[in-house]
Amino acid sequence: MNIENPYYQITLRNVIGITLFSVLIFVIAGVILVQLDPTIFTPGRALGDRMLWVTFLATGSVIGATAYVVGVWGVVGLIRPDARWILIGVATAAALFFVGERMDALLGFGIIENTRANYADSMTTPMGVFLLIAVMGFILPIPLEIYFRGILFNYLGRLLGFEGAVGFSALIYGLTYFNPAIPIYMAYGIIHGAVLAILYARSGSLWTAIAANGALASLILAKIAWG
């Protein structure tokens, strides 16, 4: 993708507006859910159940805010993808998963085991596994990629150039992986963020990054459930 392409012109006003509107929608909807069910986000609920609602809130918030602020989906790269690039994205995700899983096993980081322990309560039944993969592998990647690649990466591309945008957006994305119990996990997030940004930039369609993100999450959950 050419950073100077006029169809990918995200301004600072867009970034601020989408961020603020997303947070506002998320908070208001979250408050309504808590009023309906006070236990919905408490530690007593399985992590998978909490993530289900957080994912729905994040998806609605980011999509709603983006639609309101920019109006045209092509601005954030949601254009028809080339099937070849979707396959490349999925294959890249598989490679990232394999390398990461081997490093985790060989160096004893404990990422897979920690994640398995966190989601154990939500994966006790086949339906629980299916719902978790559906949420984490098919729904959550959409708002993540719209915000981190479609919004932040595009804006940073104008400000810092291609290499700077890849590096800085990946660093910000890596913060979402922060886990005090496993600090190295953040490094995985940075690497994943950089690869997803490059896939998006080279293919020109955000759907490539969405497919790669979803495939990676699905492979991790499959490993946790059946590995």
| Mean pLDDT across 179-205 | 94
Q: Which tokens in the block code for residue 60?
A: 């609605």
Q: Is the pLDDT assigned to residue 141 strictly greater than 90? A: yes
Rg (CA), the chain: 18
- What is the Cα–Cα distance from 77 to 147, expressed in whole angstroms? 11
CA–CA gap between residue 162 and residue 144 (Å, rounded): 20
pLDDT confidence of residue 2: 46
Share of the chain above pLDDT 90, in %: 74
Mean pLDDT of 103-112: 93
Phi-psi region of 204 (alpha: psi -120 to 50; beta: other; left: phi over 0): left
User: If 0-12 CB within 10 Å is exposed, 13-18 middle and 19+ buried, where does residue 158 land?
Assistant: middle
What is residue 4's predicted lDDT score, i.e. its pLDDT? Answer: 44
Per-residue pLDDT for 227 more than 80? no
Question: Is the predicted pLDDT of residue 1 greater than 70, yes or no?
Answer: no
pLDDT confidence tier of residue 30, bands split at 50, 70 and 90: very high
For 119, other C-beta atoms within 10 Å of its C-beta total 21
Question: With 60 as the cut, is the pLDDT of residue 5 above it?
Answer: no
For residues 43-70, b (16+ Cβ closer than 10 Å) or e, as one string?
eebbbbbbbbbbbbbbbebbbbbbeebb
pLDDT value, residue 8:
60
Lowest-confidence region among 49-53, 135-139, 186-190, 209-213:
49-53
The 10s digit of each residue's pLDDT in 40-77 is: 999 888 888 888 899 999 999 999 999 999 988 888 99
pLDDT score at 71? 85
Alpha-carbon distance of 203 to 96, in angstroms, equals: 18
pLDDT at 128: 87
pLDDT surpassing 80 at residue 121:
yes
pLDDT bracket for residue 7 (50, 70, 90): very low
pLDDT the model gives residue 158: 85
Give the mean pLDDT of 133-153: 95
